[in-house]
Structure 1
Amino acid sequence: MASVRLQEISRRFGNTAAIEEITFDVPDGQFWVLVGPSGCGKSTILRTIAGLESATSGNLYIGDRLMNRVPARQRDVAMVFQNYALYPHMSVAENLGFGLQMRKADTTTIRERIEAVARMLDIEHLLERKPRQLSGGQQQRVALGRAIARQPQVFLLDEPLSNLDAQLRDDTRAELKQLHQRVGITTIYVTHDQVEAMTLADQIVVLNQGRIQQIGTPQTIYNQPANRMVATFLGNPPMNILKAIYTESAFQVGGQTIPCPTDRFVKLQPSQGQRFDLGIRPEHLQVVAEPGQLDVEARIVEPLGRETLIRAVLPAREPGEQQVIQVQVPANYPIRVGDRFSLQIDFDSLFIFDPATGNLVENE
C-alpha cells in the first residue's frame, strides 16, 4: 500500500484544459472520492494516476516514487472500470487470476489468491462460470476481485456501480465499504453520485470545470461548502438558492422581506442595493401557522415515504422573476397543490454567496 500525491497536475488537449493544477495528497490506506458533474475532469485524474493519460505538467507520486515517466504496467495500481472489462472467454477463476499470470506468479500462489478472494467476495460458487452467466452485481464482484487478487498499492475505481439497478447499487456500495475496511488499500473512487461520495469517502474532492472546488470530509463539505457549486451539488434534495437584494437592514427576495440578523450585517457590511444569493437547505425550512419570513404557494407535492418534498414558488414582482423553493415536511403533511403557507428560516443554517463568483461570502 502507498500514498498518492498530485502536485499541480494539468492535462491539456491543445488549448483546452481537461484538468488544471490539481493538487491533493491521499494518505496510505484512505478512501478518497472524486465527485463532480460530467466533464469536470474526475476520470482524467484517475487515468493520469493509472498512467493511461500523461500529465501535461505537474508531478505525480505513488509512495515516494515519482511516476511521471513510469509506464502504467509498472505503477502497481489496479483499476476497475465502469463496464467491468471482464474477459468473456475466461471463467471467473481465470479472470481473477489473470493479473497474477501476467506477472508470472507461480501456480500455487495464483490458486491460493483466487480462493481467498472468492471467499472474501462470496463468489466461490461462481468460479467455473463465464461472465455472460453472471448478473451485473456478480460481474462487479469479479472485477473487484481481479483487482484485489493482485494486491496492488492503490485501487482506482471509475464509476464502478453506475450500471447496477438501485437496490443492487445500495447493496454493493455497502459491501465495497466493508471490503475497504478489511483490506485497507489506498482507494480513489470516481463518481457523479453524491450519495456514493457521502457514504463511502474519508475525504471528498469536489471538482468542476477541471478545477478543485473543495476538499474535506463529507460532513465538512455538506455543512461548510466553499461555494455555491459545492453547496448545490452535495445534498439531496439540493440546497435552495434565492436571489436577493439588500435594502434597509433586510434582504428583498422577490416581493418579500427577510430580515438580516445583526451578526450577519456585521460580517457582511452590505451596501444598499447589493445583490446576494441566499442558500438554505430544504430541511432547514419550517412550515409555520403564523406569518414567517416567506409566503409561498405549493406547486408540486412529492411523497417520499417517511417525508414529503414540496416544490413551492415565491410571488414575483415582475414576470420571469418567480423563484422555486423546496421544503421537506413529515409524511402526510396536510399541504396540497395550490395551498399557500408560510416558511420560517433557520438563520444559523443560511449561506450567503456572491452571485458573480459563486463564492461563500460568510456563514456561521
Structure 2
Amino acid sequence: MGILRHLLDFLMALVLYLAQFLWVLIVLAGVLGLLALVCPGLLWLSLTAWVRLTSPQEPAQPFPEGLPDREIVFMPDAGPHETRWDSRTLGFLHPDGSSRLEFTFPLLTGYRLMFGHPEAVSKASYPRWSPQGDLVFIIDGRLSVRLIDGRTGRTYGQDCDAFEGPAPPAFDPQGRLLAELDPRSALYEAYRAFQRPEATLHARLDLRTCRVHGLLHIPRLEGLTFWADGESPDGWILASGWSAQTGGRILLYHPARGLQEVFPGSGPAFSRDGAWLAYYDPEGYLVVRPVEAPRPQRLVRVFDPATEQGGWLAPPGWSPDGTRLVYGTPQGRMFVVDRRTGQVRELGPGWAPDWRPSGDEGGRPHALENAGRIR
C-alpha cells in the first residue's frame, strides 16, 4: 500500500506540474488569437520578432584563443555524405593520437525556414588546412563555405556565395579557394565571358574579402570534366574527373610548360612543398609518387572497391616535411602512415582528417586575369 500511495502522489504531482505549462499555452494561444483578430500585421511582426530572438546565431569567433595547437583536424561524427543534424562540428588531435579535442557550434546554411527562421546545422564537412594554416570547410546549403583564421579563431566566408559543395576545398599556393564557376555560382554571370567549351573555369577566391584574384582553366580530356584539387608552388595543377565508364581519373597539368598527364585514381593531394603526390588507386591502395616522375609506390590498402565506397574519401593530408600522411577509411577510422617505411599507426575514430602546415608557406604570385566582388 505504501508503494501504491507514493506512486499516486507522484502521478498527481506530475499532472499538476504539466497543468502549469498547459495554462501557459492556453494563455499564449489566446493572446495570439486576439492579435490575429485585432491586428494581423502586429501578429506577424510579433512572430517574426520572436523568431529573430530565438534563432540560432553562428559564432563570429568560435575559437577566441585561436585554433587549438593540434596538427590533425577531422570530422568527429558521420561521414560527409550522411545527414546528421546533431553532429559535433570539428575535432583536433596530435599525430600520435593524443590530446583529442572536439567542439560543437551552430553553422547557418543560408536557407530560410518558416517565418524566416535560418536553417542551422553543426556539421563541418571536409575540413582542410590552407597553406597558411587557416581552416576551411564546407557546410550544406547555399552559403556553404567557411574559413576560420588559424591565429584569431575568427570566421569568414558567410558572404561568399560562390562555392557549390559538398567536396573537399582546394587551394592555390596563396591559400585562395579554387572554386568552380558554373551556372549555380553567384559569380557565373560576372565571368561567363571567360568560359571555354574545352575547359572548366575556376576562380581564385579570397574567403576573407570575398574577392576574386584571377581565374584558372582546367582542360576537359578523354571526354571527362575535371575539377581542381590543388595547385603546387611550382605551377602544377591537380584535378579529378569521373565517369561510369572510366572510373576515377586524375589530371596533372602544368599550363606554363604545356605538360599534362591523365591516370586512374581519386582523392589526389600535393605534399606541402609540391614535390610529391598522393592518391588512391583503383584497387583501393594509398599511393605516393614524385610529381615529375610517374613511379607510384603503394603504401597501404585503404578500402576494397568490390565491397566499400572509397571514391568519396577525402584526399590524404601530408605532414609539413612530406614524410608522413594522415588518411581515413570508409568505416570512419583514421591512420598515419610513414611514406618511407610504410609503418601505420591508428589515431581512432573520425572522418576526412588533414594535417596542418607548419606555417606561412606561400608560393609565387599569379597574374590577375580579372577581379570582382560578390554582390
TM range (shorter): under 0.3
Higher relative contact order (CA 8 A, sep 6+): 1
TM-score (norm 2): 0.26
